[in-house]
A = this chain, B = another copy of it.
Amino acid sequence: MKQSKRAGIKDVAELAGVSNMTVSRVLNGTVKVSEEKRKAVLTAVEKLDYKPDLAARRLGGNKSYMLGLLYQDLDISYVSKFLLNALKSSRDQGFHLIPNEIDGDIEKSLSSVVDLIEITRIDGLILLPPVSDNQQIIDVLKKHQTPFVRITPDSHFDLSPYICIDDYMVGYKMTEHLINLGHKKVAHIMGNTKQGTSHLRCQGFVDALHTNHLSAPEEFIVEGTYTFDSGVEAAKKLLNLANRPSAIFASNDEMAAAVILVANNLGIAIPEQLSVAGVDDAQLAVTLSPNLTTIKQPIAQMAELAVKLLAKGADNLKMKERISTAIS
């Protein structure tokens, strides 16, 4: 209470009867320290309420305990929710998160990112879509060899570690959800077949049916391209079938919305005669229609995982992390 100054590492070392290094090692948990000394250090730390200075740690070592978050528009609910959760996770991990906007002024944006790397020496960056696919940003990060994790990138998946939802499980769970609703005749509108995502979701769909001793006739799986128009085409095919499905699971919400439109035009009542399900993509975080079942992105989990990956250090970065999803 009467301490004129905050306790430093040497105060702790003195009280514990060890050297600075032992204190440092106990706190960082990198190297083995004898139980005896470890306890003495911990006790001293507790007693003095010692907290290692962030700047000194950065300057002496090589970790800054700071992470950056690159976003484009904070006003988007997806972004602010991610930020909120990322801030919480960062705090839990003992890191600070510095949000940084990437806007139209790309020169300025790039220079602010470089400053984050060179001046602040952040330990890593999280890129939110659409920054996840900003080649200029990625190039700069690569050049500076800064660890970064991209959230749901659209392409170039091999460029860096990234986090996306588990698309197989998306397909599986949504299909299972429809089956649990009592549906036996479930159809699927695939997304663009050039994207792995589409196939994963479709596989989940097929497997969920199989697990539940059901199967879909060939004509129940229609290819789309994730656009509303392609959804309209696909829906027409499915709903004009002699033996039409009682539920349609579209690979994204745009196509699901198209299904609803077509059904309405055909006088098919939703949800009485047809259940429609979609998947919420990327920044979208709203349900397009009250009659549409959709899968929302588990933003909190993605944020937490992103922070943890970077907090653990660049070495632990795998190329891909998948997150399970919840149906709403």
Contact = CB atoms under 8 A, between A and B. Distances in A.
B51 A115 contact: yes
Interface residues of A, number: 31
Nearest to A85: B74
Interface string A38-80: 0000000000000111111011000010000000001100001
A52 B119 CA distance: 7
Contact of A83 (B74, B88, B120, B121): B74
A121 B84 contact: no
Interface stretch (A24-32, A90-98, A203-211): A90-98
Contacts of A6: 118
Number of copies of this chain in the oligomer? 2
A75 B83 CA distance: 10
A58 B56 CA distance: 8
Contacts of A112: 91
Contact of A119 (B51, B115, B119): B51
Nearest to A57: B55
A87 interface: yes
Given A59-B55, A80-B74, A99 B121 contact: no
